[in-house]
Amino acid sequence: MMENGGYVGQYGDDGGYMEQEEEWEREGLLDPAWEKQQKKTFTAWCNSHLRKAGTSIDNIDDDFRNGLKLMLLLEVISGETLPKPDRGKMRFHKIANVNKALDFIASKGVKLVSIGAEEIVDGNLKMTLGMIWTIILRFAIQDISVEEMTAKEGLLLWCQRKTAPYKNVNVQNFHLSFKDGLAFCALIHRHRPDLIDYSKLSKDNPLENLNTAFDVAEKYLDIPRMLDPDDLINTPKPDERAIMTYVSCYYHAFQGAQQAETAANRICKVLKVNQENERLMEEYERLASDLLEWIRRTMPWLNSRQSDSTLAGVQKKLEEYRTYRRKHKPPRVEQKAKLETNFNTLQTKLRLSNRPAYMPTEGKMVSDITNAWKGLEHAEKSFEEWLLAETMRLERLEHLAQKFKHKADTHEDWTKGKEEMLQSQDFRNCKLNELKALKKKHEAFESDLAAHQDRVEQIAAIAQELNTLEYHDCASVNARCQRICDQWDRLGVLTQRRCQGLDEAERILEKIDLLHLEFAKRAAPFNNWLDGAREDLVDMFIVHTMEEIQGLIQAHDQFKATLGEADKEFNVIIGLVRDAEAIVKQEQVPGGLVNPYTTLSADLISRKWSEVRALVPQRDQTLANELRKQQNNEMLRRQFAEKANAVGPWIERQMDAVTAIGMGISGSLEEQLHRLKEYEQAVYAYKPSIEELEKIHQAVQESMIFENRYTHYTMETLRVGWEQLLTSINRNINEVENQILTRDSKGITQEQLTEFRSSFNHFDKNRTGRLAPEEFKSCLVSLGYSIGKDKQGDMDFQRILAVVDPNSSGYVQFDAFLDFMTRESTDTDTAEQVIDSFRILASDRPYILPDELRRELPPDQAEYCIQRMPPYKGPNAIPGALDYMSFSTALYGESDL
């Protein structure tokens, strides 16, 4: 290091030896043992160079006094020729020669303070040692530079790095750190492990360690012994000049290995990038395969529309679907987000390392996963809609089946014994009045039969509806309906036949009992009305809205309004019976109390009327219970709507805020990342609101509520919005992290990044996160990029467009735009740099051997190269030779994955 034309040494700005010695003497730090160590070390160092000229020195303070060997030493170490020496033996001849040597040293930019030729000629040991140290500094140590440090600091750092992996070695200085000899042994073992077995050395044997290092260095590395082991061990603080001189010989001996290490470091850096990229590719392939396989396995279940056609079976499927949405799908949503994040990170790392973009295996593109995911969501929506529709259908079927059974039971109870009665010939032995009674009785039956026609039609209609809705037990329903219809036809035929028989006998029997007949005529329709009223009062119903239950209540109120007229009719009918009883009692008519025209009795009518009146308040209670149920349903609708109307806008606001941050409109990338992570925490903190809404939604579904006029939000839209919000936050965090990675890797400033983002946003009018080609061109021009309006300018722009939009999508994404702008002003490692590094390790050969790779690179990276390098097939190839050139080129070409 040069300053003001003079050499800046390690012991003063001008390298002055005497001034430093005087300072040490004042501080009481000068150790006489140092002078002894310097004398021995400097003598050995001088002889290591003088032997190249066929000579040596024995006594450093005597053998340089005439200046001849001093001049010879300078010629050997500098490779230059000094002026011709004076050959006389007089004192002034010696002084002249020493001055020639000192002048040559000064010509190399070294200031010699307080060192004169007379002191050297007079054999002043301190001055001579100071002069030799100055020469060592200038010609052996000054050129040592590690990370732009001074010579001493650079040499110390070199020692620290080389000995870092070794046990019991901690180099902190050039005196105490080398006393036990392990540091010397470590330096040799690091570069020539074949010369020393370091594992057998012990910190407790410093003398053995020092002798081992000095002997091996002298025998195999051509470094003479410059230090005395006993002096080092017995001196409390050995002289660092002597040790620095000796250590500098190690540095120069291993200088070639230093170049190889630099080359190996560059190769390791490149290989680590490739290995990490391949790991990310394999992880992406694994995650994509797993997610796609899960979707493939799930789709048949969601697409299945098979059920056992029972309400319990469909409700079980609905619960399974809720379990799927609550437990099985959320981890897959996270997996999909992680997959997209890993893919974006991988592409960013590939761009930053000057590698081509990663193309996943066919069928595993991000677009393929997105399409499969959309198909899954569509299948989920269709499946849930089917389940709800099937629930409504089966509930309706169960209601109809119960209604069919009730009406069929009622009808079959009425028809019991009717066929036997119609087939009876009892009228042939009757008296006139008895026959007339039978005739009237049959007329009443025909009226009753006609009244039951509507019930039979209702039974048939219900059976038809059950068939249309595909009731699971249609066979038994149809069989029973057929039996009822067949019996109804037989009753019609039998009724007609009996009527004909009675008409034939009517010519004989004429007298009728008008009073009984009137009772029969009035009692039959009233009895039918009672049966109908009773059936309506116990009729089952199903409603889903307040309007429907209120309609039933209104109809029931209207029915109750008719009870007054019915009570009057009841009193009239009972009055007829009482009148008949009075006449029979008054006239003493035998058997006159028996009404020959009907099987109905006053007791029966009275009992049925009492039942109807008792059923009215029961119906009131049933309708009131249903009204409360619908009111509860209405409350659930309002609860869901109130919560949904809060959650929905919250999700939309969060989505808008995240989108705004993603546009990078304000703040540094770190600030944007911090805000995004705050939003991420806020979103996860808000999750209990979603879960609470899910619970309300489950209660809504369990209550069979299928519409809600209080909100336009559905649970499905809120689920999708929630998942989209999480995905958007993760994607924006990933994009900002990749931008930080790009900024830091490429060395661009926050101001540059802000300028790039502002320009991009200015031309991204619709805030889509992408630019059309013309918008992109305008953006480049605004940043000072020169694009001509002529044909050549169009060609240049098309070349740029091919770089930022390699898939010809018609748009430029921000990450591609940022990558292009940073690449314009930054540099990355290239294939040529890697080839040059391999060439150093291969000693300039066009091929490299496996053993050389294992020696120079870490084990995993050496094997990585050996497995992937093709055999070298060029001239002078030897067995096992590997082609590092094509391998290096392939690192920057298409990936194997």
Integer Cα distance of 186 and 166 in angstroms: 7
Helix 240-253 to helix 206-220 angle, to the nearest 10 degrees?
Answer: 40
Does 20 fall in a domain?
no
Residue where one domain finishes, among candidates 630, 649, 664:
630
Secondary structure string (H, E, C) spanning 682-709: HHHHCHHHHHHHHHHHHHHHHCCCCCCC
Cα 344 to chain center, whole Å? 11
* Same domain flag for 133 and 238: yes
CB 524 within 8 A of CB 452: no
CB 179 within 8 A of CB 238: yes
* Same domain flag for 768 and 837: no
Q: Could you tell me the CA-to-CA distances from 237 to 51, 401, 544 in Å, in that order?
A: 31, 108, 99
CB 414 within 8 A of CB 452: yes
CB 478 within 8 A of CB 467: yes
CB 741 within 8 A of CB 670: no
pLDDT value at position 6? Answer: 30
CA end-to-end distance (rounded Å), the chain: 51
Residue where one domain finishes, among candidates 561, 596, 630:
630
pLDDT value at position 374? Answer: 93
* Same domain flag for 622 and 680: no
Integer Cα distance of 295 and 336 in angstroms: 11
pLDDT value at position 522? Answer: 86
Integer Cα distance of 332 and 340 in angstroms: 12
Degrees to nearest 5, angle at CA 69 with 67 and 71: 65
Listing DSSP states for 613-665 in one string gives HHHHHHHHHHHHHHHHHHHHHHHHHHHHHHHHHHHHHHHHHHHHHHHHHHTT-
* Same domain flag for 612 and 725: no
Residue listed under structure tokens 């080398």: 178
Q: Which two structure tokens, joined as six digits, stand for 708?
A: 């809600």
* Same domain flag for 590 and 665: no
Query: Residue 298 sits in a domain of what CATH number?
Result: 1.20.58.60
* Same domain flag for 326 and 386: yes
- Positions of the chain with pLDDT under 50: 1-20, 23-30, 508-512, 589, 894-897
Does 731 fall in a domain?
yes
Q: Which two structure tokens, joined as six digits, stand for 32?
A: 């006489």
Type of residue numbered 518: E
Integer Cα distance of 293 and 299 in angstroms: 10
Q: Which two structure tokens, joined as six digits, stand for 726?
A: 């999480």
Integer Cα distance of 303 and 568 in angstroms: 63
- Close Cβ partners of 890 (under 8 Å, ≥ 6 residues apart): 868
pLDDT value at position 293? Answer: 93
- Close Cβ partners of 688 (under 8 Å, ≥ 6 residues apart): none
* Same domain flag for 719 and 792: no
Residue where one domain finishes, among candidates 380, 403, 426:
403
Question: How many folded domains does the chain comprise?
Answer: 6
* Same domain flag for 686 and 754: no
* Same domain flag for 165 and 242: yes
Query: Residue 848 sits in a domain of what CATH number?
Result: 1.10.238.10
Q: Could you tell me the CA-to-CA distances from 734 to 274, 291, 340, 673, 685 in Å, in that order?
A: 21, 20, 9, 9, 21
Helix 831-841 to helix 255-303 angle, to the nearest 10 degrees?
Answer: 130
DSSP annotation of 9: B
Residue listed under structure tokens 């360690």: 209
Its domain, for residue 301, covers: 273-403
CB 494 within 8 A of CB 419: yes
Type of residue numbered 312: A
Does 13 fall in a domain?
no
Q: Which two structure tokens, joined as six digits, stand for 780?
A: 């480049």
Does 462 fall in a domain?
no
Cα 163 to chain center, whole Å? 43
- Close Cβ partners of 27 (under 8 Å, ≥ 6 residues apart): none
Does 507 fall in a domain?
no
Residue listed under structure tokens 């036990």: 180
Listing DSSP states for 272-327 in one string gives HHHHHHHHHHHHHHHHHHHHHHHHHHHHHHHH-----SSHHHHHHHHHHHHHIIII
Listing DSSP states for 235-264 in one string gives SSS--HHHHHHHHHHHHHHTHHHHHHHHHH
Does 504 fall in a domain?
no
- Note the pLDDT tens digit of each residue in 727-784: 988 988 888 888 888 777 766 777 777 777 777 778 877 777 788 988 888 888 777 7
* Same domain flag for 724 and 672: yes
Residue listed under structure tokens 């007079």: 122
* Same domain flag for 41 and 155: yes
* Same domain flag for 602 and 687: no
- Note the pLDDT tens digit of each residue in 41-78: 999 899 988 988 889 999 988 888 998 889 999 988 88
pLDDT value at position 509? Answer: 40
Instruction: Give 238-241 contacts, CB < 8 A, sequence gap 24+.
Output: 238/33, 238/34, 238/37, 238/175, 238/176, 238/178, 238/179, 239/31, 239/33, 239/34, 239/37, 239/38, 239/41, 239/175, 240/173, 240/174, 240/175, 241/34, 241/38, 241/41, 241/133, 241/136
Integer Cα distance of 736 and 742 in angstroms: 10
- What is the DSSP pairing of strand 770-771 with strand 812-813? antiparallel
Dmax over Cα atoms in the chain, in whole Å? 192
Does 471 fall in a domain?
no
Is residue 226 helix, strand or coil? Answer: coil
Does 561 fall in a domain?
yes
pLDDT value at position 330? Answer: 93
